[in-house]
A and B are shown apart, each in its own frame.
Chain A
Amino acid sequence: GAVVSQHPSWVICKSGTSVKIECRSLDFQATTMFWYRQFPKQSLMLMATSNEGSKATYEQGVEKDKFLINHASLTLSTLTVTSAHPEDSSFYICSVLAGAGRGTQYFGPGTRLTVL
């Protein structure tokens, strides 16, 4: 399967600052990537679908001005949490869609964001 990395693996920031999380597909050109959020002991919640060269598609209830997604190349998508607040603290996971014909997603290791 595809190998996906995320950076940073964890970040602590002050309230009001912005944080950028990178998701890289290391061995696969990913036209489509996804961003998820996971709260403790809960399932993954899809935030948005990131398409290379076009605007991301956000799920209902996700603030697009708060969670900025850029997919500028076939190997890199970034999620920027703008003006972060403590309620944005969470575990953020990205995935790549490895071959549309098979529908399989491969996931990054996740980024733990703590906003003080």
Chain B
Amino acid sequence: AQTVTQSQPEMSVQEAETVTLSCTYDTSESDYYLFWYKQPPSRQMILVIRQEAYKQQNATENRFSVNFQKAAKSFSLKISDSQLGDAAMYFCAYSPIPTSGTYKYIFGTGTRLKVLA
């Protein structure tokens, strides 16, 4: 079965510092998508970054970047220059490419990030 594991229930980072959130997944597929979503206290799910498995280059979006290790099935999120507004729950999601039916996400359990002033 395809699973997504976020082993860090909670992380803290000092403002302006860098933090890395871990995500591992289990799949036998060779092509798929991976995502990080942020859920702040408002509970609105916000797409942070997206990675296509066939692309070796790690995705980046401003202060957010990923370390995608396909062989290790690891997809960690690095947040640089952390800001108070980064405090949120972060969910890692895996989406296989369907041969039939439609795309579906498999979510991890989330990591709560606290940013300390």
What is B's interface to A at a CB cutoff of 8 Å? 33, 35, 37, 42-47, 50, 91, 95, 97, 101-105, 107-110
Contacts and interface: CB of A to CB of B under 8 A. Distances in A.
Say what secondary structure dominates the interface of chain A: strand
A110 B89 CA distance: 15
Nearest to B89: A41
8 contacts: A32-B102, A42-B110, A43-B91, A97-B102, A100-B103, A102-B33, A104-B35, A107-B37
Contacts of A109: 42-44
B43 A110 contact: yes
Contacts of A95: 45
A100 B97 CA distance: 9
Contact of A1 (B43, B47, B104, B108): B47
A44 B103 contact: no
A41 B45 CA distance: 14
Nearest to B97: A103
Given A1-B47, A93-B45, A43 B110 contact: yes
Interface of A: 1, 32, 34, 38, 42-44, 46, 49, 51, 57, 91, 93, 95, 97, 100, 102-107, 109-110
Contacts of B108: 43
A10 to B, nearest CB: 11
Contact of B95 (A51, A103, A107): A103
Nearest to B105: A105
A103 B107 contact: no
Given A43-B91, A109-B44, 7 more contacts: A1-B47, A34-B105, A43-B109, A44-B91, A46-B104, A46-B105, A109-B43
B44 A110 contact: yes
B50 to A, nearest CB: 6
B107 A106 contact: no
Given A43-B107, A43-B109, A44-B107, A100 B102 contact: yes
Given A95-B45, A110-B43, A49 B110 contact: no
